[in-house]
Chains A and B, each alone.
Chain A
Amino acid sequence: MSGHPVSEHVIVARDLDVGYDGRAVTQGVSFDLPSGALLCLIGTNGSGKSTLLKTLAGLIDPVGGSVSVLGGAPGTQPARVGYLAQRPASSFTLPICAADVVAMGRFAALGLVRRAGKDDRRLCAESIERMGVGPFAHQPLMELSGGQQQRTHLAQALARRAEVLLLDEPTAGLDPNGRETFAQAIRDERARGCAVAMATHDLADAEDADVVILLAGRIVAAGTPAEVLTDDNLRASFGFTGPH
C-alpha cells in the first residue's frame, strides 16, 4: 500500500451497476477503498470509468447494487468529497481568473453565506502553490493553455481538502512537469489519509495504485497493478498489450 496510512473503507461498492436512464453501462462492480488508498480505473472509451466516477460523486443514481461514500449515499457529503470532471468548464462569459476558479473549491465547505476565513484562503494559496498555478493565477482561465487550465482545476479539487478525491482523467493535457507535480500532490493527499479514485487511459498512472480496476462494460480484472496489468487482461480490454 505504498506506505500510506490506510484504515477504514471510505468507499464500499457491492455489485454496483452504473449507467444512464436505468440502462447499465458497467455492471457488477465491487470494491472497498480504504482512506489513503489510490484506485485507478482503466479501460477504453465508453468502458464506464467516467460513469462510475459520476455515480460515486452522486451526479447520477446507481442502476443497481449498492454503494456508500464516507458511510452515506454518494453526493450527500460534498465538503468531504472532491470531484474533477473529464472536461471541466473552461469557456465562460465572464473571464474569471485562475485564482478565483481555485477559490470555488471552498464553496462546498463555506455553503451559502459563510465568509471565507484565513484557513480557506490558506488552503487556496497552498493548492495554487502545489499545482504550480501561481505564475498565471490572475489570468483569465479562458486565456490559459489546456495544461494550465487542468492544473487550475486540479488545484480547485485540492483546495476542497477532501477525504475522497474523484478525478476523471486528471493528467490529460499535462506536460511531464505537470504530471510530476500532480503525482506529488496525490502522494501528499494520500499521506494525509485522503482516498483517491481516478480514471485514466495512461497505464503509467496506475503504477502507484493500491487497487486497479480494468473495465470494459464489466470488470475485466481487479487487484494490484501487478495482478491486473497483465498482457492477457490488457488484450481482453484494449485489444493490445499496451506500452507497460
Chain B
Amino acid sequence: MNDTFFRPFTDNEFLMRALVAGVLVAVSCAVVGTFVVLRGLAFVADALAHGVLPGIATAILLGFPVILGAVAGTVVMMGGVSVITKRSRLSSDTAIGLFFAGMLALGVMITSRSDKFKGDLTNILFGDLLGVDMTALWWQASAVIVVAAIAWVCRRPFLLLCIEPEIAATSGFKPRRYQSLMLMIVAIAIISSFQSVGTLLVFGMLLAPASTAALVTRRLGAMVGVAALLGSLSTYVGLLLSYHADLAAGASVVAVAVGIFLVTFAAVEVRTGIARRRGAPAPIPVHGHGHAHDHPHSHAHADPTGGPSR
C-alpha cells in the first residue's frame, strides 16, 4: 500500500514537485474558482485562459519570459472587452466571445509560424506538471499569497457582488471596482497555473472543485476550503493515476476533479430523492463550520463577520 500511494512521491523528486505545484494550483483555483462559480464568470474565465495564448506564443518567439507574455495577453483581452462593452451596445458576453475567438486564432497563427512551437504549444495548452521547476513553484506560491490576500480583504464586497451588484453598491462597495479586482485575481490564478496544467486544463481546476464545493457547503469560507481540499485530492489521485497508468499528468488531475464533481452531484441527487420520498424537506448541505447549524429550537444568532463572508 505504501508502495502504491506514497513511494511514487518520495522516490521521485519531479513527482513531489508536481504534487506541490498541483496543490498550489488547487489552492489559488479554489479561491478564485469560488467567485467564478458564484458570480457566473465561467465564460470570461475560459476566455481569459485562452486569451493568454498569443501573448505566451509571442514571448516564446521573441525570447521573453512566458509569464510576461501571459500578462500582456490578459491585459489586451480584458482591455479590449472593457472598451467594446463600454463603447458599443453589445453585451459583455459578445465582447468576451469575440476576443476569446480572436485571441485563440491569433495564438494559433503565431504558433503556426515556426516548427519550434510544436512541443511548446502542447505545454501551453495542457501544461507540463511533471516538468515544473522551482522557479515556477515560487511564482505559484507568490500567486497563492496574492490571490488569497485580495480575496480575504475583499470577501464582503465579493460576496455581495456575487449575490447582487446593487446590494454591494448600497453597502458602500463600488461594484465596478470589485468586479475588476475579482477579474484580476482570476487572471493571476490562470497565469500562475498555466505552466503546470496548461491554459485549457486550468479552466477545469477553476470550475470543478469549486462547483463540487458549492453542492455541499453553504458558506463562502467553507466553499473555498472544501474546493481547495478537493483540488488537492484531485492532484494527488490524478498524479498517482498518471504514474501507475502512464497517463498525461495534468489531464489526469482535471479528469479526477471533474469525476469527483459528477460523483458528488449524483450523491446529492440521491440524498435529495430519498429525503423527498420520506416527505422530509430537501437536505441542507453540510455546514461550513460549526456556526451555521440547524437548531430544532432555532435560537437565532448571526455572525456578521464571518457569516457568509468568511
Q: Which chain A residues have a beta carbon within 8 Å of chain B's beta carbons?
A: 57-59, 75, 78-79, 81-83, 85, 88-89, 92-97, 99-108, 110-113, 115-116, 120-121, 124-125, 128-129, 133-140, 143, 159
Is there an interface contact between A134 and B300, defined as CB atoms closer than 8 Å? Answer: yes
Is there an interface contact between A112 and B301, defined as CB atoms closer than 8 Å? Answer: no
Is there an interface contact between A112 and B154, defined as CB atoms closer than 8 Å? Answer: yes
Asked if B112 is at the interface (CB within 8 A of a chain A CB), the reply is: no
B281-310 contacts to A (CB < 8 Å):
281-282, 284-285, 292-295, 298-309
Please, how many residues of chain B have a CB less than 8 angstroms from a CB on the other chain?
Answer: 45
- Chain B CB count within 10 A is highest, among A88, A107, A110, A136, for A107
B152-179 contacts to A (CB < 8 Å):
153-154, 156-157, 159-160, 162-164, 166-167, 169-173
Is there an interface contact between A139 and B294, defined as CB atoms closer than 8 Å? Answer: yes
Given A103-B302, A103-B308, A116-B305 in contact, is the A92-B163 Cβ separation under 8 Å?
yes
Is there an interface contact between A100 and B284, defined as CB atoms closer than 8 Å? Answer: no
- Find chain B residues with CB under 8 A from A125 CB: 300-302
Is there an interface contact between A138 and B293, defined as CB atoms closer than 8 Å? Answer: yes
Q: Kindly state the separation between the CA atoms of A120 and B156 in the bound complex, as whole angstroms.
A: 15
Q: Kindly state the separation between the CA atoms of A28 and B294 in the bound complex, as whole angstroms.
A: 51
- Find chain A residues with CB under 8 A from B20 CB: none
- Find chain B residues with CB under 8 A from A135 CB: 298
- Chain B CB count within 10 A is highest, among A93, A110, A133, A137, for A93
Asked if B220 is at the interface (CB within 8 A of a chain A CB), the reply is: yes
Q: Which chain B residues have a beta carbon within 8 Å of chain A's beta carbons?
A: 37-38, 40, 153-154, 156-157, 159-160, 162-164, 166-167, 169-173, 214, 217-220, 223, 281-282, 284-285, 292-295, 298-309
Chain A's closest residue to B163 (CB) is A89
Q: Which of A99, A108, A138 contacts B171 (CB 8 A)?
A: A108
| Interface residue SS majority, chain B | loop
Given A59-B166, A99-B301, A138-B292 in contact, is the A94-B220 Cβ separation under 8 Å?
yes
Q: Which of A105, A106, A137 contacts B298 (CB 8 A)?
A: A137
Is there an interface contact between B160 and A128, defined as CB atoms closer than 8 Å? Answer: no
A120 to chain B, nearest CB (A): 5
Is there an interface contact between B307 and A78, defined as CB atoms closer than 8 Å? Answer: no
Q: Kindly state the separation between the CA atoms of A97 and B292 in the bound complex, as whole angstroms.
A: 8
Chain B's closest residue to A85 (CB) is B166
Chain B's closest residue to A153 (CB) is B167
Q: Kindly state the separation between the CA atoms of A111 and B38 in the bound complex, as whole angstroms.
A: 21
Is there an interface contact between B307 and A100, defined as CB atoms closer than 8 Å? Answer: yes
Is there an interface contact between A81 and B218, defined as CB atoms closer than 8 Å? Answer: no
Is there an interface contact between B157 and A96, defined as CB atoms closer than 8 Å? Answer: no
Q: Which of B170, B218, B306 contacts A83 (CB 8 A)?
A: B170
Q: A93-B40, A120-B304 are in contact. List 15 more A-B contacts (CB 8 A).
A: A78-B170, A82-B170, A85-B166, A89-B163, A93-B38, A94-B38, A96-B163, A97-B218, A102-B302, A104-B171, A108-B170, A121-B301, A137-B301, A138-B298, A140-B285
Is there an interface contact between A58 and B302, defined as CB atoms closer than 8 Å? Answer: no
Is there an interface contact between A59 and B170, defined as CB atoms closer than 8 Å? Answer: yes
- Chain A CB count within 10 A is highest, among B154, B301, B309, for B301
Is there an interface contact between A110 and B305, defined as CB atoms closer than 8 Å? Answer: yes
Q: Kindly state the separation between the CA atoms of A83 and B293 in the bound complex, as whole angstroms.
A: 28
Is there an interface contact between B307 and A99, defined as CB atoms closer than 8 Å? Answer: yes
Given A94-B219, A95-B285, A102-B302 in contact, is the A57-B295 Cβ separation under 8 Å?
no
Given A103-B307, A110-B156 in contact, is the A75-B169 Cβ separation under 8 Å?
yes
- Find chain A residues with CB under 8 A from B153 CB: 112-113
